[in-house]
């Protein structure tokens, strides 16, 4: 089986490719990624020489390019993914998240292949109480969430109208190795390691429901193999935290591993202006996923955070190359020569 994974140089899909190659010796993964600022081929160093992996540099909006690639199924991660960027400029979000998904759906329709669409709990908007269920109304508040909700609706429509065998997953906030340091958890870790201010938006009482990226990858695998076509699956680990509690917990762990005074790192916390339209709370009910596929999260949150801190400490070269911009050269050095040959 040849699976087209989109956005494989990003945070979650690079973890997913590693997971699939080690779990399924018979699979070949084709990674298509246009290498935006968030795409980093260094995330895939461990597996890039595998003969069961190939990379295509390209845009998911390019239907001619897609037509020339051989595959039997699509697992679609590629997206513009950062809410703050979507507030500054929504255009690339609409282009990639909506038009890109549409282009891939047309390809799936023509080939009659399975399409797994990786979406987000943010399409449901914010909830003060209770949990998001798969049939909760879609009430996206940020341009990012609106673009993902739009793509979800297109996936549904292509299933209903054209019979595309499509499934949608909606996961809560991820953390773990290889996350780009603009997102909250890696930002707090890196700033805590280098004594820089840690910005907390608003009053810090916004709630997010956190899951380790490896548990998310296992859930996408479970839906791909055991999910029902036409279905939506929420993915979450029942792990809600206020931002301020989370930030304090991470800074205390960082202080411990650095052997520095906890109070000194907690003093880095700086309350800043709130994000526009900042969703107050996300909370996922993953019961359908658990019932249909037998999936359960495995990573304990405190252990997961400790391991993630250790990972960033052990991989300083990886994030220093992101901070300096050097990571963008990796494609040319690894693939530029080979392509010219
Ligand atoms: P990311 O920003 O780390 O990676 C996105 C990848 O997509 C990058 O490698 C980028 O180069 C690629 N890409 C962007 N536009 C492209 C285009 N037009 N053509 C080809 N490739 C393109 O994102 P992530 O955090 O790994 O998220 C992956 C998916 O999971 C997204 O669909 C996101 O909505 C969803 N998701 C993320 C989270 C989270 O907490 N990060 C939670 C739930 C769902
Ligand atoms: P983020 O990691 O951007 O994920 P999302 O917006 O998709 O949930 O942010 C997680 C939470 O942390 C969100 O409530 C915004 C908040 N936040 C901060 O308080 N400070 C920061 O510097 C960032 C990046 C986020």
Given this model, what pLDDT does residue 331 score? Answer: 86
Single out the catalytic residue among 102, 144, 175, 330.
144
183 lines ligand 2 (CB under 6 A): yes
Hey, whose CA ends up nearest to atom 21 of ligand 2? 184
- Give tens-digit pLDDT for 222-267: 999 999 999 999 999 999 999 999 999 999 999 999 999 999 999 9
pLDDT at 341: 38
Ligand 1 contact via 175 beta carbon (within 6 Å): no
Q: What percent of the chain has pLDDT over 90?
A: 96
Total residue length of the chain? 341
Q: Which domains does the chain have, with CATH numbers?
A: 2-177+211-238+278-299+327-338 (3.40.50.720)
Name the residue at shortest CA distance from atom 22 of ligand 2.
199
Q: Does ligand 2 come within 6 angstroms of the Cβ of 174?
A: no
What is the whole-number distance in angstroms between the Cα of residue 33 and the centre of ligand 2?
25
Spell out a b/e string for 175-190, using b for 16 or more CB atoms within 10 Å of the CB, else e: bbbbbbbebbbbbbbb
Residue 203 appears among annotated catalytic residues: no
**What average pLDDT does range 133-157 have in this prediction?**
98
* 148 Rama class: left (phi>0) / alpha (psi -120 to 50) / beta: alpha
Q: What's the rounded Cα separation, in Å, for the pair 34 and 39?
A: 7
> Widest CA span of the chain, in angstroms?
61
Tell me how far the alpha carbon of residue 333 lies from the centroid of ligand 2, in angstroms. 33
122 catalytic? Reply is: yes
> Could you read off the pLDDT of 8-54 as tens digits, one per residue?
999 999 999 999 999 999 999 999 999 999 999 999 999 999 999 99
Tokens of 78: 């590629």
């Amino acid at each position: 089986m040849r699976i087209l994974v989109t956005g494989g140089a990003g945070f979650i899909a690079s973890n997913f490719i590693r997971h699939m190659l080690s779990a399924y010796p018979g699979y070949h993964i084709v990674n298509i990624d246009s290498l935006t600022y968030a795409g980093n081929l260094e995330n895939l160093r461990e597996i890039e020489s595998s003969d069961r992996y190939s990379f295509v540099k390209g845009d998911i909006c390019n239907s001619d390019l897609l037509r020339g690639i051989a595959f039997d199924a699509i697992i679609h991660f590629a997206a513009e993914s950062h809410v703050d960027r979507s507030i500054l400029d929504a255009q690339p979000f609409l282009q990639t998240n909506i038009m890109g998904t549409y282009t891939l759906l047309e390809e799936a329709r023509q080939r009659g292949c399975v399409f797994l669409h990786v979406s987000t709990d943010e399409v449901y908007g914010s909830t003060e109480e209770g949990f998001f269920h798969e049939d909760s109304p879609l009430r996206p508040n940020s341009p990012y969430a609106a673009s993902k909700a739009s793509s979800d609706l297109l996936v549904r429509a292509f299933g209903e109208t054209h019979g595309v065998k499509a499934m949608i997953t909606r996961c809560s906030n991820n953390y773990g190795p290889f996350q780009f340091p603009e997102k909250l958890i890696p930002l707090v870790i890196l700033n805590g390691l280098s004594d820089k201010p840690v910005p907390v938006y608003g009053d810090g009482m916004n709630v997010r429901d956190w899951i380790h990226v490896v548990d998310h990858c296992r859930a996408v695998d479970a839906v791909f193999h055991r999910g029902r076509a036409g279905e939506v699956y929420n993915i979450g680990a029942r792990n809600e935290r206020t931002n301020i509690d989370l930030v304090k917990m991470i800074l205390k762990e960082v202080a411990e591993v650095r052997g520095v005074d906890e109070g000194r790192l907690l003093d880095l916390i700086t309350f800043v202006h709130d994000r526009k339209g900042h969703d107050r709370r996300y909370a996922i009910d993953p019961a359908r996923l658990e019932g249909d596929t037998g999936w359960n999260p495995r990573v304990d949150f405190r252990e997961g955070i400790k391991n993630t801190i250790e990972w960033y400490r052990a991989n300083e070269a990886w994030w220093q190359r992101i901070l300096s911009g050097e990571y963008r050269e990796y494609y040319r050095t690894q693939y530029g020569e080979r392509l010219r040959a």
